Amino acid sequence: MSFTSLASPSEIASTCSDILRGRNLNLFVSKPLFRTCSFVRKESTLPSCNDARKFVISNRIVPDHLEGSLMGKKHMAGPSRKLEYVRTLLIDNYDSYTYNVYQELSIINGVPPLVIRNDEWSWEEICHYLYKERAFDNIVISPGPGSPTCPGDIGVCLRLLLECRDIPILGVCLGHQALGYVHGAQIIHADEPVHGRLSEIQHSGCTLFHGIPSGRKSGFKVVRYHSLVIDAETLPKELIPIAWASSTATLPYLDFRNGNSWLSGDAEKMPSKEVLMGIRHCTWPHYGLQFHPESVATSHGRKIFKNFRKITEDYWGSLSSTSVSKRKFYCNACLQDPDRRRLFKDIPRYTNFENNADEAIHFNSYNMASLSNASNGKKYLKLNWRKLEGLASQVGGSRNIFCELFGQYKAENSFWLDSSSTEKKRARFSFMGGKGGPLWKQVTFKLLDQSDMSFKQGGYLSTEDVHGSTTTTFLEDGFFDFLNKELQSYYYEEKDYEGLPFDFYGGYIGYLGYGLKVESNMSLNRHREDVPAACFFFSDIFAVIDHCNDDVYIVSIHDGINKNIQWLDHAEKKLLSLKDSGANELRPQHSGSAPCSLILPDFVAEKSREQYIEDVEKCQEFIKDGESYELCLTTQMRKKIGEGDSIGLYLNLREKNPAPYSAWLNFSTENLSICCSSPERFLRLDKHGVLEAKPIKGTIARSTTPEEDELLKLQLQYSEKDQAENLMIVDLLRNDLGRVCEPGSVYVPRLMEVESYATVHTMVSTIRGKKQSNASAVDCVKAAFPGGSMTGAPKLRSMELLDSLESCSRGIYSGCIGYFSCNQTFDLNIVIRTVVIHKGEASVGAGGAIVALSNPEEEYKEMLLKARTPVNVVQVQLIMSKRSDASAVDYVKAKQHFPVVQ
């Protein structure tokens, strides 16, 4: 493999000398060392499709001796003393696994670390807190995308590693490479990118690996996420190798030959080749690990962090007890506070949680707001409800209930969160409602045109009340801020809800479009949004079906003035009448669609087969260069369908592809209908404060024969590629939940389970955690939005890359649909397997996760597989919807039709 240098040796030597002498405090974010970096965090510039960055072998750097600084002068040797807390400065290199490290350190250190991004503090600020305030006991440098040779990727970390020689530092992945780089080692491409895959590790037995086994079949297996490595042959004498991969072979998490166990497979047959997995400085307390000890699938990861705490304690214990006692302790509540004046306060002892399901059972119940502590301006809500026991099956199920209560007039202004697949207790409740109650309203949010950079975010919110009156307001702080304030303004009496088995007590039901990533992570949307970025009903009258007990609930919330008793009476009467009629084949009341030709043009894709495959290959180049571990590449297929029967289309979709997180939404004023048959939960927060995500990564088509179908299921379950895809997103979701969950409470009760649906098998994992008491429902969503299964990891860099590759806005696809309840609970899906009908055009989004092991042709086929059902349902609906001249042969042909992507 050849590399091209982007700077001459003399330029490199001059630049490095300036850096090492500390002459330019802003050099790491203003001047590249060896190559032009495409991604500038604080700018709005997007990368070009053609800017697949080429890495260079870094020249050796020999650090100059730093004189006249604070480093190395602050401590005197003295008696040993154990630290009560270990206070960590955690440098985030814009990674999506940093908060997994945060969670581990919170448990082990007795206090959460302070997380700052690598360009958040100036060098003067860092020196002040490290050497004047003596605020930190050690430093951990996170993983991240890119290379340590690029200042925009590594920020201040190089200078920390050079100058903070008297503070214990642990670098993970990118931080490990940075430790090698600053001392003169070369950074090169690995023989192959390794992401979400496992290796067995041998180590030297040094303190960092104390008590951990070593070598093949020892049980010490670790997860790797990297495309670059330190060239072991260029390791300078200052750095000592302490760990290496025991062979070139990687391991699947699950092995077909031994069920749920980790096997070394054929690793012992592979020729041994040293791949450096750990280093330490010979005299400074600095360590680096190429693998990820924080990954859910790494064995002995927590032990490594405990050993680093021990290294820190031993280091400070050998110094003056006076100097240690003067160190100020943080207050946990202030650690993430941007107000620096509150940064240094005493720390209370922290209660730890263990990462297992048993502990999760003992979480304290979520304390809901009460009327007694309400303040002025709050909205007081009361609730009335009735339970109709065992009624659902007697009236033909939720389909007939929806059609009877809310299906009139094309089901305008209605919603249906539809658990149409309830096997294996995947989902228990369905929620449905429509316009009618006095508190009903529709809120529609449209983002600013991204060409107007006056505001980083913001947009226009239109609010329509039940009488049709509309007001429009500019939201400078965006939709999430509006929604957060709305939800926190509601108060109610808990006794009104006693006896209800579900968590939705009325509130907002609708969708968040993918474009709202500008309010949670991204600084800019590259593509123009055609549909509203968010659209929600405030629902005050609705019905709930309990699929477990076959009960139906009809619910009304009110402000104490109009109690909506009349609607409850009316709904109960209609349902009982439906029971008496035995109407199990009820159809929605809707008008006919416009005539259409039997010669139907196919859906037109945004990208041809050749373009999509080319984009897959570009993704793999980004992955090879360390820019991403996994990229969820998508495209859109579109078709003009006119004013058709959208509710009929949804009923056909739910019949052909029943799913636990299906949904129907009809925003009539926006000429927008959403027909969703999603199998994936994005995020849920229940009334006990437990967050749950259920990402899907890994999909394979089902067979018509049971034997072949079972073989396909096993093929998916034991595919190393699909396991790697799933593991990367599981670690990403653990990170996202870790931002808002109690330390130690995030755990994975189910990892890589295969679930079977009507047309596909999918690999699903479950992540749960206990929400922090000071985090709101909207805080939780913002921390994880958009869903990591639709972006890849690291999330921010991956979204930048995907925006540069994809040719149009994703719109509602890749966003989420669900509810935000007045009691601060929510349940949201991932918008996949969905037909969006907007202004007479149907669109279907589809895609897949691209990893280093991906086959471009197979990725294209997988994308078509995911689009097949919603696309075919549209084709069938166009032929059969109210067509008197459509024959049975036409219907069969339409059902068998598979679109040729143009």
Give the mean model confidence (pLDDT) for residues 819-842.
96
Amino acid (one-letter) located at 377 = G
At residue 559, does pLDDT exceed 90? no
In whole angstroms, give the CA distance from residue 842 to residue 674.
10
In whole angstroms, give the CA distance from residue 50 to residue 177.
26
216 or 258: which leads in pLDDT: 216
Instruction: Give Cβ neighbours of residue 856 (< 8 Å, ≥ 6 apart).
Output: 613, 616, 617, 620
At residue 759 the predicted structure's pLDDT band, cuts being 50, 70 and 90, is confident
- Summarised one tens digit per residue, pLDDT across range 566-586 is 899 999 999 999 887 765 544
For the chain, how many helices (H) and strands (E)? Answer: 21, 34
- Summarised one tens digit per residue, pLDDT across range 776-808 is 999 999 999 999 999 999 999 999 999 999 999
Peptide bond preceding 786 in cis form (omega within 30 of 0): yes
Give the mean model confidence (pLDDT) for residues 622-648.
93
At residue 323, does pLDDT exceed 80? no
In whole angstroms, give the CA distance from residue 532 to residue 527.
13
- How many CB atoms within 10 Å of residue 181? 24
26 or 418: which leads in pLDDT: 418
HSE-up (13 A, CA, CB side) for residue 87: 24
Q: Write down the catalytic residue from 104, 200, 238, 294.
A: 294
Task: With H, G, I as helix, E, B as strand and everything else as coil, classify residue 12.
Answer: helix
Q: Write down the catalytic residue from 127, 173, 675, 822.
A: 173
Most confident of 34-48, 310-324, 434-448: 434-448
In whole angstroms, give the CA distance from residue 561 to residue 63.
75
Q: What pairs with residue 230 in β-bridges?
A: 187
For tokens 């060392």, what's the residue? 33
In whole angstroms, give the CA distance from residue 467 to residue 310.
67
Joined together, the tokens standing for residue 403 give: 């059609």
At residue 450 the predicted structure's pLDDT band, cuts being 50, 70 and 90, is low
Amino acid (one-letter) located at 35 = R
Q: Write down the catalytic residue from 176, 203, 286, 292.
A: 292
In whole angstroms, give the CA distance from residue 100 to residue 105.
9
Do residues 679 and 661 touch, judged by C-beta distance below 8 A?
A: yes
Question: Is position 572 annotated as part of the catalytic site?
Answer: no
In whole angstroms, give the CA distance from residue 348 to residue 332.
7
At residue 44, does pLDDT exceed 50? no
In whole angstroms, give the CA distance from residue 447 to residue 453.
12
pLDDT at 522: 81
Q: What is the mean pLDDT of the chain?
A: 80
pLDDT at 84: 85
Joined together, the tokens standing for residue 756 give: 């079977």
pLDDT at 699: 87
Strands 459-465 vs 604-605: parallel, antiparallel or unpaired: unpaired
Closest CA to 789 of 868, 749, 847: 847
Instruction: Give Cβ neighbours of residue 837 (< 8 Å, ≥ 6 apart).
Output: 641, 644, 646, 649, 672, 673, 674, 675
At residue 892, does pLDDT exceed 60? no
- Summarised one tens digit per residue, pLDDT across range 107-118 is 999 999 999 999
Integer CA distances (angstroms), 439 to 16, 192, 562, 651, 819, in order = 65, 59, 9, 28, 16
pLDDT at 273: 61
- Summarised one tens digit per residue, pLDDT across range 359-371 is 332 222 223 333 3
**CA 720 to chain centroid:** 21
Question: Is position 226 annotated as part of the catalytic site?
Answer: no
Joined together, the tokens standing for residue 283 give: 């005299």
Question: Is position 173 annotated as part of the catalytic site?
Answer: yes
At residue 260, does pLDDT exceed 90? no
426 or 302: which leads in pLDDT: 302
SS3 content of the chain, % helix, strand, coil (to 5): 30, 25, 45
Of the listed ranges 142-151, 472-481, 517-526, 702-711, the least confidently predicted one is 517-526
Give the mean model confidence (pLDDT) for residues 439-461.
81
pLDDT at 320: 54
Joined together, the tokens standing for residue 40 give: 């500038």
Do residues 853 and 720 touch, judged by C-beta distance below 8 A?
A: yes
At residue 510, does pLDDT exceed 50? yes
pLDDT at 495: 87
3 or 396: which leads in pLDDT: 396
Amino acid (one-letter) located at 46 = L
Task: With H, G, I as helix, E, B as strand and everything else as coil, classify residue 66.
Answer: coil
